[in-house]
Amino acid sequence: MTKKGKYRSGLLAAVVLMASVGIAAQQTDIYFLIKKNFSIFSKAYETVALEYVDEVDPEILMRTGIDAMLETLDPYTVMFSESQNEQAEIMSRGNYAGIGIEAGFRDGEVVVVAPRDGGPAAKAGIRAGDVIVAVDGVSTENLQPEEVNTLTQGEIGSEITITIRRFGIDQPIDFTLTRENIEVTNISYSGFIGDESNTGYIRLSQFGSNSGEEVREAMLELMDNDGLNGLVLDLRDNPGGILQEAVKIIDKFIEPGITVVDIRGRSSEFNQAFTTRESVMFEKPVIVLMNGGSASASEVVAGALQDLDRGLIIGEQSFGKGLVQVVRQLPYNTSLKITISRYYIPSGRSIQSVQYTHQGRNAVVMNDSSKKEFKTRNGRTVYEGRGIEPDVAIDNNKPNILEVALLQQGLYFDFATKYEAEHSVFDHVRLPDEVFNNFREFLEEQEFSYQTDAEKMLAQLSSQLEEVDTADQQLQELEKAIDREKELIFEDSEADIRRNLFLELTSRYQGQAGRVEAGLKSDSDIIKALEFIQNSSEIDKILRGE
């Protein structure tokens, strides 16, 4: 070996040695800092717990400290308590033993939000809107809905007594039910849509355990129709879930051997690429519906189909969550859901829309790579850091202040509860005028009110002009003008109010599946999707970038 070669070899060895020493020093530093600060925290916690002037709950004190620490990271890194851990396990398993109800708050009381179709509660006649008074004799007066949900769960075959109070009935009613295995389904509805009922439709509510298999089975049923001309996959308001299930769904539309998502983290042990493995199951036109509530695994599916020019994305820009979490078990049946990596879709782009500064309570800055361009397989331009932008944007009308107030105050829900108590059937294809007029009377009985911006300004003006003699008449005229404005707002909103009320009543008599089916006929996103499916050449032109 020449002297120059020996010199180069020696220099390389020195660089490697220095790098190794640097890495070792860095690891030593972080472990030292962990140990140092843990000692400080431990002593501070012990001192406060034992010596603070008032007695404090050590568990609450510690949980507050942990939550404050995690809030400097991102909103998806959270600690689960024992009860929260049980709920998380239910979602990951995809089934649990219970009676099939979801409890929620209405006017400060715990009520049945929706009995699960086919569950013990629904079969026994428990209805949405029933107030849950007690579970096995335990009063729900000071309980959270999550605690009530936990009380209803137990061993398969065990009995449980639910005491409810129902509108129109003076005395509480006891229901003794037997707990059954409750399947947590991921598909809320699948079937045919369109005037000729030849377009397949699947609404996927979440990416829980077995999502891929559920979608496969739903597709096989749809494909039994020889006239099937395309598929609409509805991912609106789907918050995501298990990444592997998203990959299994992409697999149904993309040829084998294509990397559809890869995850990259700080530690190389979390880096992983996911590729398609199965033969293409469906080759006809595919449309994916999205909105601002479509996140995480939903964005992986939509983004992969967009990047590979396999599906047309219709709707609104998605949420923009490109972070991957895993659950780490902690002592005493608690756990930590922690972000460990980011995921990237076929074009190479990330869909994460914000970056976290780690300087405060989930402090964020917009992703500075949001102008970075990437290319789809056909050469179309897509952007990083914006979530998934639709190929065909639909600007759906947002609820106005009146519609928001009706929803916030639960008045559709409460009217449906009253109506169901007084009527044994509701088999209409649209809302009858009589029912709509009854709803208006119900709003008056409930003394429904909401405040417009003009009313807020009038309230401020009234307080300022209290001592002005000539102000009363002018204020009265303004109040009349505001009343006229509110009447016009109601008239302008009548179509949407009728639709919401019709769907709420339909769900009471036909379940959630009936509600979804009824809503599809007037859904603007669905109508637009059907137009494209029936003119598939337009889909091809967009996907080719023409």
361 pLDDT band, cuts 50/70/90, is low
Ordered by start, the domain boundaries in the chain are 3-56, 95-183, 187-395, 401-450+493-526
Q: Which residues contact 96 (CB under 8 A, 6 or more apart)?
A: 90, 153, 181, 182, 184
Q: Mean pLDDT across the stretch 295-310?
A: 96
How far are the Cα atoms of 255, 286, 301, 354, 400 from residue 278, in angstroms, in the given order? Answer: 7, 18, 16, 34, 46
296 belongs to the catalytic site? yes
523 belongs to the catalytic site? no
Alpha carbon 33 to chain centroid distance? 38
Residue 444 has pLDDT above 50, yes or no: yes
Residue 15 has pLDDT above 60, yes or no: no
Record the tokens describing residue 334, joined without a space.
């608690």
Assigned CATH topology for domain 95-183: Pdz3 Domain (2.30.42)
Helix (H) or strand (E) holding 201: strand 199-204
Q: Mean pLDDT across the stretch 256-282?
A: 93
Q: Mean pLDDT across the stretch 143-172?
A: 86
190 pLDDT band, cuts 50/70/90, is very high
Residue 534 has pLDDT above 90, yes or no: yes
Helix (H) or strand (E) holding 97: strand 95-98
Distance CA 17, CA 13 (A): 6
Q: Which of 248, 252, 321, 486 is catalytic?
A: 321
- Evaluated on CA atoms 265, 291, 544, 250, the torsion sign reads positive
In CATH, the number for domain 187-395 is 3.90.226.10
Condensed to tens digits (0 to 9), the pLDDT of residues 46-82 reads 999 999 999 999 999 999 999 899 988 888 888 888 7
Please check whether residue 383 is in contact with residue 374, taking contact to mean a CB–CB distance below 8 angstroms: yes
Distance CA 341, CA 326 (A): 9
Radius of gyration for the alpha carbons in the chain, expressed in angstroms and rounded = 29
Residue 21 has pLDDT above 70, yes or no: no
Q: Which of 74, 130, 251, 307 is catalytic?
A: 307
How far are the Cα atoms of 205, 206, 400, 452 from residue 211, in angstroms, in the given order? Answer: 10, 8, 35, 44
Residue 345 has pLDDT above 90, yes or no: yes
SS3 340: strand
pTM of the entire structure? 0.78
DSSP-H helix ranges across 204-294: 211-223, 243-250
How many Cβ atoms are within 10 Å of 490's Cβ, its own excluded? 13
How many Cβ atoms are within 10 Å of 534's Cβ, its own excluded? 16
Q: Which of 211, 296, 341, 507 is catalytic?
A: 296
